[in-house]
A and B are shown apart, each in its own frame.
Chain A
Amino acid sequence: MNSRQLTVTGGVDEAIRAHGQATYPHECCGALLGRDNHVSDIVALPNTTEEGPRRRFLVRPSDYREAERRASELGAELLGFYHSHPDHPARPSQYDLDHAWPTFAYIIVAVSGSASARQSADGAAAAGDMTVWYLKDDRSSFEEGSLQHGENSHPDTAQAVHG
């Protein structure tokens, strides 16, 4: 298999899904921390977009710095970011492509909700497909990576720095 591999622990996988469900119908976002294509921690970040959080997310430079800082504290690297696509497939949009950084892994989780979930903040929403993408060097498109599930090395992995 030629595609780049990214391994996430069970705790990371669950934490990303839970974050996407919690912010539904808005997009969630956060940083992926780890080493050697192995995500061991996430940092949930606030979605600061001003273009409507149902369809957009934005990580502020200050939060980016916070993620880098957290990575170095843990002796890890910033491997990339995750975000959710509420009621949309887990495939990158043109907007994702336009704003992508090279080498980062971009995890997308699709979250779908019932009609009632769209109305109330605490309605049930279910996280579905999770995929990982890498920007091609010429910025022409994304390449899908393969998302592997690894052993949960630390039981208490997911940490949120912002509510």
Chain B
Amino acid sequence: MAKILIPTPLRPYTDKQDAVDAAGATVGELLADLTRKHEGLKAHLYNDQGKLRSFVNVYVNDEDIRYLQKEQTPVAASDTVSIIPSVAGGAPTTTEQEVRAVPLHPDRELPALTNDEVKRYSRHLIMPEVGVEGQRKLKASKVLCIGAGGLGSPVAMYLAAAGVGTIGLVDFDVVDFSNLQRQILHSTPDVGRPKLASAKDKLTALNPEIEIRTHEVALSSENALELFAPYDVIVDGTDNFPTRYLVNDACVLLGKPNAYGSIFRFEGQASVFATKDGPCYRCLYPEPPPPGLVPSCAEGGVLGVLPGMIGMVQATETIKLIMGIGEPLIGRFLIYDALKMKFRELKLRKDPDCPVCGTHPTVTKLIDYDQFCGIAPTAPEPIAVNNATEITAVELKQRLDRGDKLKIVDVREPNEYQINKIAGSVLIPLGDVPKRYNELDPEDEIVVQCKMGGRSAKAADFLRSVGFKKILNLKGGILDWIDKVDPTQPKY
């Protein structure tokens, strides 16, 4: 039994009493007893899922139960339990102002469908929301996919199947074995081919009625506006921050919607940016993260099916934008967790102070995005200068063969170490280096090594900072070692 103090707005439900005695040994039991006695309180204290509403605060004496044991917090007879409102509210956000779909080009003349096309798209045509008109809009539309990789694959395949009349692809990469786990545009025989050649074959086989335009270039501030100009929707399937900001800014400058998606490990994100009234990527992230903070998929890995899920959200949103149906993912940021199999949604609003889409933009043309993201341009290889901080795979092999005493420290994760390793190396994952460096002898000559050389460079910097003098970073990491020295080992 304890006393519960009732706040003013709830007193009409407790016969005007400002304090009610309730029975129970925990906060949860007391509140259950309270709502049994005063039924009307229930709807205001608990949500539909039976959880305490977020703006209902419960204090035991002067402590918020969120910092105690929540509803399991024990209560003695001498304790006073108070229900204290958080009062919150606000003006409607973009999402609440009913985001309506707007057809992209209402005045555009729509091409007719051939008999073959009617047959091919019949499952679309029989839905009144699409119908012949919607299909003709798809046929008239032009969509540009940035990247023909993890996200670009499902996006391009579904857009091609759905009958988007013109699909452009920007990529300059070559198909690698490590792509096949997720990039379903490409097959095993395509390894070594340009991704665009492989993509064009796949998409044309899927739907010969549509046009596939390939742009085998690295997207840059110099070519982006010209590349984007003929297209209606841009689908961002990039895997790095400079290109992501470049795509966003170019879309805002040209007034073209950006069907955005990104993936990492088990989590994906999607939204539609840069529509007339909606927010853009910079409204969400005005500044890029410091370089190296967010690892790429090559470093952190990615679940193979994840880009399928996110790419299909991008393709769905693209098709909705073209047809002008449904509620677009504008002003909403979708977060998908594959392990929990959960979708969450954050509300986004257009930032009036956004440097590119705000009321007084400061970014009015494309900038140097590598510099913006803090990535220094790659310096030309130093010629004939022996960089005393690095060692190449071939040099390392020569010195080991010569019998030099070198300690090799692998700073990758244990699961990577299981895939391949340099014989004789010891494993100290990068994150453990600060607490385990005393296992190493500062007098030894030490070679640090990871997959490609990035993490080991950080480890080298750290070790030098704590007084190690003879630290060499293996250039190109174990991948270079395998290419140049030990091709018997698998690469990942």
Closest B residue, CB atoms, query A29: B87
Total A-B contacts with CB atoms under 8 angstroms apart: 107
Query: A101-137 interface mask toward B, CB cutoff 8 Å, 1 = contact, 0 = none?
Result: 1111010000000010011000000000000000001
A58 within 8 A of B: yes
B8 within 8 A of A: yes
Measured between beta carbons, the chain A residues less than 8 angstroms from B86 are: 58-61, 64, 99
B34 CB, nearest partner CB in chain A, Å:
15
**Cross-interface CB contact of A59 among B59, B88, B92, B96, cutoff 8 Å:** B88
**In the complex, are the beta carbons of A106 and B7 less than 8 A apart?**
no
**In the complex, are the beta carbons of B87 and A101 less than 8 A apart?**
yes
Measured between beta carbons, the chain B residues less than 8 angstroms from A118 are: 352, 359
Measured between beta carbons, the chain B residues less than 8 angstroms from A64 are: 7, 84-87
Measured between beta carbons, the chain B residues less than 8 angstroms from A96 are: 89-90
B407 within 8 A of A: no
A100 within 8 A of B: yes
B265 within 8 A of A: no
Query: A75-106 interface mask toward B, CB cutoff 8 Å, 1 = contact, 0 = none?
Result: 00110010101111000111110011111101
B360 within 8 A of A: yes
| Chain A interface (Cβ < 8 Å from any Cβ of B) | 25, 27, 29, 49, 51-52, 54-61, 64-65, 68, 77-78, 81, 83, 85-88, 92-96, 99-104, 106, 115, 118-119, 137-139
- The contact sample of 7 A-B pairs, CB cut-off 8 A, is A54-B91, A78-B8, A83-B89, A95-B93, A99-B55, A99-B88, A104-B8
**In the complex, are the beta carbons of A56 and B88 less than 8 A apart?**
yes
Interface size range on B against A: 20 to 34
| Chain B interface (Cβ < 8 Å from any Cβ of A) | 7-13, 40, 43-44, 54-55, 57, 59, 64, 84-93, 96, 349, 352, 359-360
Measured between beta carbons, the chain A residues less than 8 angstroms from B64 are: 61
**Within the assembled complex, what's the spacing in Å between the Cα atoms of A100 and B92?**
14
**Within the assembled complex, what's the spacing in Å between the Cα atoms of A148 and B250?**
52
**Within the assembled complex, what's the spacing in Å between the Cα atoms of A138 and B48?**
12
**Within the assembled complex, what's the spacing in Å between the Cα atoms of A118 and B57?**
34
**Within the assembled complex, what's the spacing in Å between the Cα atoms of A135 and B8?**
14
Measured between beta carbons, the chain A residues less than 8 angstroms from B12 are: 102-103
Question: Which residue among A77, A87, A101 has the maximum number of chain B CB atoms within 10 Å of its CB?
Answer: A101
**Within the assembled complex, what's the spacing in Å between the Cα atoms of A88 and B9?**
27
**In the complex, are the beta carbons of B44 and A58 less than 8 A apart?**
no
**Cross-interface CB contact of A102 among B10, B57, B93, cutoff 8 Å:** B10
Measured between beta carbons, the chain A residues less than 8 angstroms from B93 are: 55, 93, 95
**Within the assembled complex, what's the spacing in Å between the Cα atoms of A56 and B286?**
20
